[in-house]
Structure 1
Amino acid sequence: MLPSIAFVLTLAASAVAAPTTLAPRAGRTSPPSGCLAVGGSGKYKTVQSAVDALSASSTAAQCIFIAKGTYKEQVYIKPLKSALTVYGETTDTSSYTGNTVTITQGKSQDDAPNNDETATLRAWTPNLKVYNINLVNTRGQGSQALALSAYADKQGYYGCQFKGYQDTILAQQGSQVYAKSYIEGATDFIFGQKAIAWFDGCSLGVLTASVGYITANGRDSDSNPSYYVINNSKIAAAPGNTVSAGAYYLGRPWRNFSRVVFQKTSMTNVINAAGWKVWNTDDPRTDKVTYAEYANTGDGSKGTRASFSKKLSAAVSPSTVLGSDYKSWVDAAYLS
């Protein structure tokens, strides 16, 4: 998040499994017809060079295929007039477990002017679909350092991995979907101010930390549409990490109209019995928040929750959050 509100922590966590078992789909090992090809025998050697070769004026759908490998670069996708799909090579498109493509770098706000410019992928174009790519920011503890900066409407991320420490995913504006993906971090690692974001069938891996926060939604008024829903997902310590019981909170309010729901989600005991936390003792920001839960399970779902949170009597539907036409742009095959 912004430097003035940064809150630095230390780390820890045990393994996160895929939240649901899907019938494996065919692998994707060669470029779909018409796609620009990166790596392997493709024309482009870097992801950014393929992105730069896209037409900025065409309204016809475009696509990029990335061959297996690790690409050490920062990628910026500027606004396009067309839809864009970016595919990563994988042995199984149904989740992130067969991914073979990683884009990685280590920028942070130590060396960039704002959150967005630290991101491994800066996604500024609407009508974007990204499949089976690992996005990693290696900066680690000590500064805001994004894996993804999502700054446009109708973006979907399917079978992806997002790894960082502080501020891993910036869901900033527009409607977005994250499905069958893995998200890792310690401090406010799903955050943003105006986006509507639906997280479905995701594994949230928390890192070793004395205290940590999964979400920090920055909704600042009743008219701000921002809304995060984490649906049918799992929360546990990240692989190779050890996390103390109760070290993590589901969220804290970056702004006082913060709105987040966790529903039908399995939570290990890494989640504190209070569930939710004030921004800080002298500045709680809880007077207008909507923090709610429905039908969560596991040790982390138990206990006396914070007084400013509530239990719902029914699950929130995707259409409530994303609109009744969400299937026109979401790959619904990845939803629960």
Structure 2
Amino acid sequence: MRLYFPLFSLLSVALAAGRTSPPSGCLVVSKTASSGQYKTVQSAVNALSTTSTSPQCIFIYQGTYNEQVYIPSRKAALTIYGYTTDTSTYTGNTVTITQKLSQDDVANNDLTATLRAHSANFKLYNVNLVNTRGQGSQALALSAQADKQGYYGVQFHGYQDTVLANTGAQLYAKCLIVGATDFIFGQTATAWFDRVDIRVLAASIGYITANGRDSESNPSFYVINNSNVAAASGNSVKAGTYYLGRPWRNYSRVVFQRTSLSNVVNGEGWKVWGSSDPRTDHVYYGEYANTGDGAKGTRAAFAKKLASPVAIETVLGSGYQSWVDRSYLS
């Protein structure tokens, strides 16, 4: 019998690369730490200088790390790598950082996050960030609070407010983002989501984005590019349950483009914040060349069908190539 393999499959196998040992100069985190290594991610972060200007890195071996990680502002660029046999995807990730803080426990959203990233020029590769709190309160997997941050092959799991893209220019590429309520949200960040799998949980109603742009001068802009939206594995989600977004503030700005939308997306596309508080007078909600059953239907009157796609430079700036790992872009 002759076997046939599509060319793209052969290319994928050829191009897949692993990262199974620490890059030179990295601090090492391991569940079975030996001399010179660290048992928790936070202890490795704490060992780094915040005043050095030389690039820094941390490598994490396989395992589940039950902790909250805080990365304070620093002068150096920092990269954290998770052990993986395939850096090109999140599906083979073997490192998970998890905890369950919510606003039932602490004073604000940022303090609930599994990873509190407050440092500019930060990259994270092939790590799963999980907040297990579930329904009932804001509980973040990520609080991204600084400029020029990139997340590559990362999984983000939560229910309400999973990813806080809050400040500066940010990139999310080849990632998985899971949630139900306002689970991509923030106030001033410009964020580009590229080849991201957005997965929604069983709920009576859900909202993917809640952008909090509050004025014409606020730079915040979320663009979901060449991605896809569908029900999370093991979740039964009725057709039309989810909306692409609702406005946390009334200058909210979000675009979905060239993205596959399954039937979990409501034909209206977008939703007001609340029946007595719509917040739609200055929103910019657009779509371009989306496909799938969720791209059909009569969209909300305050949404736009765009004549052309938004360019990555519009969101991240003309100098984005200096800090973005372009090998992950579509």
Mark yes or no: TM-score above 0.5. yes
1:90 counterpart = 2:84: yes
1:330 is paired with a residue whose SS is coil
1:199-235 CA distance string (max 9 Å, x none): 0000000000010000000000000000000000010
Give the aligned partner of residue 4 of structure 2.
none
d(CA) in 2 for partners of 1:143 and 1:236?
23
Q: CA deviation at 1:25?
A: 2.3
Choose from 124, 128, 135 the match for 1:134.
Answer: 128
Matched, 1:182 2:173: no
Structure number with greater CO (CA < 8 Å, separation at least 6) is: 1
1:29 matches 2:29: no
SS at structure 2 position matched to 1:48:
helix
Find the counterpart in structure 2 of residue 198 from structure 1.
192
How many residue pairs were aligned?
A: 317
Aligned position for 2:236: 242
Partner-residue secondary structure (3-state), 1:333: helix
Q: Partner letter of residue 201 of structure 2?
A: L
Trace 1:1-336 onto structure 2 (pairs within 5 A): 23=12, 24-39=15-30, 40-41=32-33, 43-336=37-330
Query: 1:90 aligns to what SS in structure 2?
Result: coil
2:3 paired residue number: none
Q: What SS does the corresponding residue of 1:136 show, helix, strand or coil?
A: strand
Work out the CA distance in 2 between the residues paired with 1:250 and 1:160. 21
| Amino acid paired to 2:230 | A
Write the letter of the residue equivalent to 1:29: T
Distance 1:134 1:298 in 2: 28
CA RMSD of aligned residues (A): 1.1
Work out the CA distance in 2 between the residues paired with 1:25 and 1:175.
28
Instruction: After TM superposition, give the deviation of residue 41 of structure 1 in Å.
Output: 4.4
User: Partners of 1:260 and 1:87 in 2: how far apart?
Assistant: 30
SS of 1:146 mapped into structure 2: coil
Task: Return the letter of the residue paired with 2:134.
Answer: G
C-alpha separation between the residues in 2 aligned to 1:26 and 1:193? 36
Give 2:40's aligned amino acid: T
After TM superposition, give the deviation of residue 195 of structure 1 in Å.
0.4
Distance of 1:324 and 1:196 partners within structure 2 = 13
Matched AA of 1:219:
R
Tell me how far 1:320 sits from its aligned partner. 1.0
Task: Report if the CA contact (8 A) 2:33-2:39 is conserved.
Answer: no
Amino acid at match of 2:107: P
Deviation per CA, 1:156-209, whole angstroms, max 9, x where unpaired?
A: 000000000000000010000000000000000000000000000000000000
Larger radius of gyration, structure 1 or 2? 2
C-alpha separation in 2, matches of 1:319 and 1:182: 23
State the identity as a percent: 71
Gaps of 5+ in 2: 1-7
Contact 2:188–2:212 under 8 Å retained in 1? yes
Quote the Cα distance in structure 1 between the aligned partners of 2:279 and 2:162: 22
Task: Provide the rounded CA distance (Å) in 1 between the counterparts of 2:321 and 2:227.
Answer: 20
C-alpha deviation, 1:26, in angstroms: 1.2
Deviations along 1:255-278, one digit per CA (max 9) or x if unpaired, are 000000000000100000000000
Letter in 2 for 1:32: P
Q: Shift of residue 295 of structure 1? A: 0.2
| Letter in structure 1 aligned against 2:289 | A
Q: TM-score, normalised by structure 1?
A: 0.93
The answer for unaligned runs of 5 or more in structure 1 is 1-19
User: By how many angstroms is 1:300 displaced?
Assistant: 0.2
